[in-house]
Copies of this chain bind each other. A is one copy, B any other.
Amino acid sequence: MQNEQPFQRLQVELERMIAKKGAGAKLPSEPALAKSLGVSRSTLREAMRTFEVQGLIRRRQGQGTFVVGKQKTFEGGLEVLESIETLSERIGLNVSMGEFDIKRFPVSEENRNLVPFPLKTTLIQIERTINTEERPIAYLVDILPVTILDEKDLQNGFDGSVLDWLLKRGDPVLSQSNTRIDSVEASSEIAHKLQIQRGAALLFFESDVYDTSNQIVTHSYSYFLPGYFDFHIVRQVAKKYFK
């Protein structure tokens, strides 16, 4: 076990409690809650505050604390960094790895604008398609330094997902990614790999993944056939703290 601090337990118990109550429901008073959860009021308030800034509850001095009951951000939308394989599994899509190709090349003067790694870094590029029973539905390209992952690593239980593999190894510790979203028309090369017509519309993600010390780990391009994935995102009104 890693964390048995009261706060951690509190966080999950409180979240469950909030989820169980419907929108608008009133929570017990802080002294009462603290007692029933077996923590001090200060600790309870730290947890409450985190839920408040997330907008899950609303506290009013003199009245009490109420459940706002909005959709949680971290619940399966695009806000979570997860692999296509994991995502597919979660939504019940049965996928397998299709065509698979690995290249090795250094960062040169010609391609340095295309990849966010220093000059002369040796990179490894992993291309693959994701298939359902019937057809390929995505084409993914991951680019990362060989110092992080090389060809022989790929034999140890590699199932197609670089992200999953890195998460499993736990080194480097990944923390977040920055993903650009756009729409593109399939080039003839990609059209061939996905067995579609050249010029067909594809959903396109360009993504940089960072580790906990904010170092870039991988750069990747993803092309998705429209309609097969349910990418969605919860967006918040900018004004975070209102009363």
Interface residues of A (CB under 8 A from B): 2-3, 7-8, 11, 23-24, 42, 45-47, 49-50, 53, 55, 68-71, 74, 77-82, 167, 173-185, 199-204, 207, 210, 212-214, 224, 226-227, 230-238, 240-243
Q: How far is the CA of A177 from the CA of B237 in the complex (A)?
A: 8
Q: How far is the CA of A242 from the CA of B176 in the complex (A)?
A: 13
A183 and B210 within 8 A (CB): no
Interface of A is mostly: mixed
How many copies the complex holds: the figure is 2
Nearest first, the 10 closest Cβ-Cβ pairs linking A and B are: A201-B201, A183-B203, A81-B235, A183-B183, A46-B49, A180-B232, A185-B201, A181-B231, A183-B201, A183-B226
B70 and A176 within 8 A (CB): yes
Q: How far is the CA of A232 from the CA of B205 in the complex (A)?
A: 9
Contacting residues, chain B, for A231 (C-beta < 8 A): 180-182
19 A-B residue pairings within 8 Å (CB atoms): A2-B243, A7-B49, A46-B46, A49-B49, A69-B214, A70-B210, A71-B176, A74-B240, A79-B236, A80-B236, A81-B238, A175-B236, A180-B231, A181-B232, A183-B204, A201-B201, A201-B202, A203-B203, A207-B235
B8 and A181 within 8 A (CB): no
With A3-B243, A70-B175, A80-B236 given, name 13 new contacts (CB 8 A).
Answer: A2-B242, A2-B243, A23-B213, A42-B45, A79-B236, A80-B235, A176-B234, A177-B234, A179-B235, A180-B230, A182-B226, A207-B235, A233-B233
Q: How far is the CA of A175 from the CA of B55 in the complex (A)?
A: 9
B184 and A226 within 8 A (CB): yes
A180 to B: closest C-beta gap in Å: 4
Q: How far is the CA of A72 from the CA of B72 in the complex (A)?
A: 18
Contacting residues, chain B, for A7 (C-beta < 8 A): 49
A201 and B176 within 8 A (CB): no
Q: How far is the CA of A47 from the CA of B176 in the complex (A)?
A: 22
Known: A81-B237, A183-B201. A178 touches B46 (CB 8 A): no
Q: How far is the CA of A77 from the CA of B237 in the complex (A)?
A: 12
Contacting residues, chain B, for A230 (C-beta < 8 A): 180
Contacting residues, chain B, for A50 (C-beta < 8 A): 49-50, 53
A235 and B200 within 8 A (CB): no
Q: How far is the CA of A28 from the CA of B203 in the complex (A)?
A: 46
